[in-house]
A and B are shown apart, each in its own frame.
Chain A
Amino acid sequence: MNQFIPRGTSKISARGLNVHYGDKQALHDIDLDIPAGEVTALIGPSGCGKSTFLRCINRMNDMVDGAKVTGSLTLDGSDVYDRQLDVVQLRARVGMVFQKPNPFPKSIYDNVAYGPRIHGLARDQAELDEIVMNSLEKAGLLAEVESRLSESGTSLSGGQQQRLCIARAIAVAPEVILMDEPCSALDPIATAKVEELIDELRDNYTIVIVTHSMQQAARVSQRTAFFHLGKLIEVGGTEEIFTNPREPLTQGYITGRFG
């Protein structure tokens, strides 16, 4: 599935995307292309709609009462909000890592094996074992948990839990991984590990990461999109955004004049 991702082609593209929560409009007319095989960071002050945009991509907004999405959002050219499209299939292609680590209160093994099990990705136990081990390895967690795979996922430290959640997402072999402030609940050392991991994963996955830390955006992403009050203000190469923003609002945000 992830053999070769042509750099630069647009994996996800939004055109005129609007999101309402009841009467309140959270996103206004977003046009945004997210290239394959890169890390795209979404930044902006809190409440500006970054998470909302992220949740549109794997249709997690479907679970929110009163949320209404209009406009178009495509994944590899096909409409994500097509009535024919099966949400389960979409979410197998688009994995998600949440702000607060949320491992299942099950064993470490079962946490990682859950996705492959429900999607029938392994034909036998040996294959499942292999998927689990591979995913843990890729998430840089294998060495730490190899000897206690049957312990509860919730017994790990916060940083380990978040990497377990990443391993769990990887195990389904998605094409896109969405991360909503994955490090906001972690200490600096755990954060550094997760950032390192994101950098390694970039070769095989398209990653969209929401972050409130500008340093983090600068460290891990190749592209950055700046949101403000539900509108996309500016998008471009990360270097460019941080060194030479076009919009005064962007400038104001990255220099810390508001946020």
Chain B
Amino acid sequence: MTEMTEITSAVRTAETVAARLNRRYAAERRFRLLGLASIVLSAGFLVLLLGTVIAKGWTGFLQTQIAVEVAFDPQVIDPDGNRAPEVLDTADYPALVRNALAARLAPDADRGTRRDLSAMVSTMGAEQMRRMVAANPSVIGGRATLWLPASDKLDMVYKGQAPREVGADGNALSDRQLGWLAELEKTGQIRKAFNVQFFTGGDSRAPEQAGIWGAVVGSFFSLAVTLLISFPLGVATAVYLEEFAPKNRWTDLIEVNINNLAAVPSVVFGLLGLAVFLNVFHLPRSSPVAGGLVLALICLPTIIIAGRAALKAVPPSIRQAAAGLGASPLQIVAHHVLPLAMPGMLTGTILGMARALGETAPLLMIGMVAFIVDIPKSPLDPSAVLPVQIYLWAGSSERAFVEKTSAAIMVLLLFLVAMNMAAIMLRKKFERRW
């Protein structure tokens, strides 16, 4: 009898477990699907974001150019014939470009026609001629076929980003200009080439002349200042708090405050920078020094927290081993703990720098939104930085700035990805070895 009940109860247990098993499997399946769905969703958004940016921006890396046979007319460039540099420098090169275009497209053009003609090319064309003459005055009197950059309007139409039908409303180009474009195309005198200007130029009101180099250099200077300030300060703070400071109410308070600072919105740091660095210390407005200092404040908490985590991760057994041999506290830190924590600290620093590279709001607060054409030569020169440049272009009305904005975003993302990769590689390379 007892044997029977035992057997039946064993069977019952097996059945109950089996019934629950199916429910458990179902729950696991649901959970897996949920996870998969959220991954697909976020990946989708990422693809969408990158897709739009790339689709809108890749043409920004191309420049439309027109082949024009120009004459370096001595009558226009140097009527006196004595090759005085000031004369060569200030000669009416735009007229030469205009003449060359007229000769090719509309031999007996009136004033209005000629104005339309010169609106086809960028003023960079005349500049290109001026530079050729300055470099080698012997070109005067000769002729040359040059690929001159098109104006932004022609550029937009040729790239298909502005309507091209003759007679359409809101056309960027007049019907006559559209006709010239067709003619240039027929003879192969128009092309799209790699946009060197975009990577070497500073900002400009003329979209076809605007480049990111000024902003890249500005960002570089800013980050250099940030790194120089925040890395030594952050490491020293982390080491002191983690290894030397007594544990009492004061150090607890400091720790809480550092953690809070890491969560403070960056605009607030911008206001602080405005009040302290500009109004009290009178650092040059819109300069990488001021920007870098503000970014250093933003990075500091991150670097300190990452640094302390890296120091904490060094096993106490290493400290004990060194102490047992008679190493002083400073020697323990300098010889053993810090070298072992350094990769973690560097990783934290790179991630902090990457964040600083993308910061915009605090820099707007300290006036880094000025329109600056020149490439900065030192951290004291006024300059833009990449994210602010993007912000400025995104707010510009010209259609041609749309692709520039997206192209600049791509460059910024590329830098960010490179920095994050460096951080990951560093972490991989120095994976814990104890």
Interface residues of A (CB under 8 A from B): 58, 60, 63, 65, 87-92, 95-96, 98, 100, 102-105, 114-115, 118-119, 152, 154, 165, 168-169, 172
- 10 shortest A-B CB distances, which residue pairs? A91-B326, A96-B324, A102-B317, A115-B325, A92-B326, A102-B321, A88-B326, A105-B433, A105-B434, A88-B328
User: Does any Cβ of A come within 8 Å of B21's Cβ?
Assistant: no
Residues of B within 8 A of A152 (CB): 433
Beyond A58-B324, A92-B325, 9 additional contacts (C-beta under 8 Å) are A63-B320, A65-B247, A96-B320, A102-B318, A102-B320, A103-B321, A154-B434, A168-B325, A169-B325
Residues of A within 8 A of B315 (CB): 102
How many residues on the B side are at the interface (Cβ–Cβ under 8 A)? 20
State the CA gap A89–B323 with chains docked (Å): 11
* Min CB gap B311→A, angstroms: 15
* Min CB gap B339→A, angstroms: 9
User: Which of chain B's residues has its CB closest to A165's CB?
Assistant: B321
Q: CB-defined interface of B263-294 with A at 8 Å, one 1/0 digit per residue? A: 00000000000000000000000000000000
Some 13 contacts from A to B, beta carbons below 8 A apart, are A60-B324, A63-B319, A63-B320, A65-B247, A92-B326, A96-B320, A98-B321, A98-B324, A102-B321, A103-B321, A114-B335, A168-B321, A172-B325
Interface residues of B (CB under 8 A from A): 247, 315, 317-328, 331, 335-336, 340, 433-434
State the CA gap A114–B323 with chains docked (Å): 12
State the CA gap A65–B434 with chains docked (Å): 25
User: Which of chain B's residues has its CB closest to A59's CB?
Assistant: B323
Residues of A within 8 A of B322 (CB): 104, 114
Residues A118 and B331 in contact, CB atoms below 8 Å apart: yes
Residues A89 and B326 in contact, CB atoms below 8 Å apart: yes
* Min CB gap B367→A, angstroms: 48
State the CA gap A60–B326 with chains docked (Å): 10
Which residue in B319, B325, B328, B433 is a CB contact (below 8 Å) of A154?
Answer: B433
State the CA gap A89–B326 with chains docked (Å): 7
User: Which of chain B's residues has its CB closest to A97's CB?
Assistant: B324
State the CA gap A92–B328 with chains docked (Å): 11
User: Which of chain B's residues has its CB closest to A99's CB?
Assistant: B317
State the CA gap A90–B326 with chains docked (Å): 8
Question: Which of A100, A103, A114, A115 has the most chain B CB atoms inside 10 A of its CB?
Answer: A114
Residues A114 and B325 in contact, CB atoms below 8 Å apart: yes
Residues of B within 8 A of A172 (CB): 325-326
User: Which of chain A's residues has its CB closest to B434's CB?
Assistant: A105
Residues of B within 8 A of A100 (CB): 317
A91-B326, A154-B434 known; A98 and B320 CB under 8 Å?
A: yes
Residues B331 and A60 in contact, CB atoms below 8 Å apart: no
State the CA gap A104–B335 with chains docked (Å): 10
State the CA gap A21–B197 with chains docked (Å): 70
* Min CB gap B223→A, angstroms: 32
Residues of A within 8 A of B319 (CB): 63
* Min CB gap A116→B, angstroms: 9
Residues of A within 8 A of B336 (CB): 104
State the CA gap A154–B326 with chains docked (Å): 21
State the CA gap A172–B326 with chains docked (Å): 9
Residues of A within 8 A of B321 (CB): 98, 102-104, 165, 168
Residues A95 and B434 in contact, CB atoms below 8 Å apart: no
Residues B433 and A104 in contact, CB atoms below 8 Å apart: no
State the CA gap A203–B326 with chains docked (Å): 23
Residues A95 and B320 in contact, CB atoms below 8 Å apart: no
Residues B320 and A118 in contact, CB atoms below 8 Å apart: no
Which residue in A91, A103, A119 is a CB contact (below 8 Å) of B323?
Answer: A91
Residues A118 and B323 in contact, CB atoms below 8 Å apart: no
State the CA gap A44–B324 with chains docked (Å): 24
Residues of B within 8 A of A92 (CB): 325-326
State the CA gap A88–B331 with chains docked (Å): 11
State the CA gap A96–B324 with chains docked (Å): 6
State the CA gap A65–B317 with chains docked (Å): 16
Residues of B within 8 A of A89 (CB): 326
* Min CB gap B275→A, angstroms: 40
A65-B247, A104-B336 known; A169 and B324 CB under 8 Å?
A: yes
State the CA gap A172–B319 with chains docked (Å): 17
Residues of A within 8 A of B324 (CB): 58, 60, 91, 95-96, 98, 169
Residues B320 and A115 in contact, CB atoms below 8 Å apart: no
Residues A118 and B340 in contact, CB atoms below 8 Å apart: no
* Min CB gap B329→A, angstroms: 9
Residues B326 and A115 in contact, CB atoms below 8 Å apart: yes
Residues of A within 8 A of B323 (CB): 60, 63, 91
* Min CB gap B431→A, angstroms: 12
* Min CB gap B335→A, angstroms: 8
Residues A60 and B320 in contact, CB atoms below 8 Å apart: yes
State the CA gap A98–B322 with chains docked (Å): 11
Residues A95 and B247 in contact, CB atoms below 8 Å apart: no
State the CA gap A154–B335 with chains docked (Å): 17
State the CA gap A98–B319 with chains docked (Å): 12
Question: Which of B317, B326, B328, B336 has the most chain A CB atoms inside 10 A of its CB?
Answer: B326
State the CA gap A209–B322 with chains docked (Å): 20
* Min CB gap B385→A, angstroms: 40
State the CA gap A95–B319 with chains docked (Å): 14
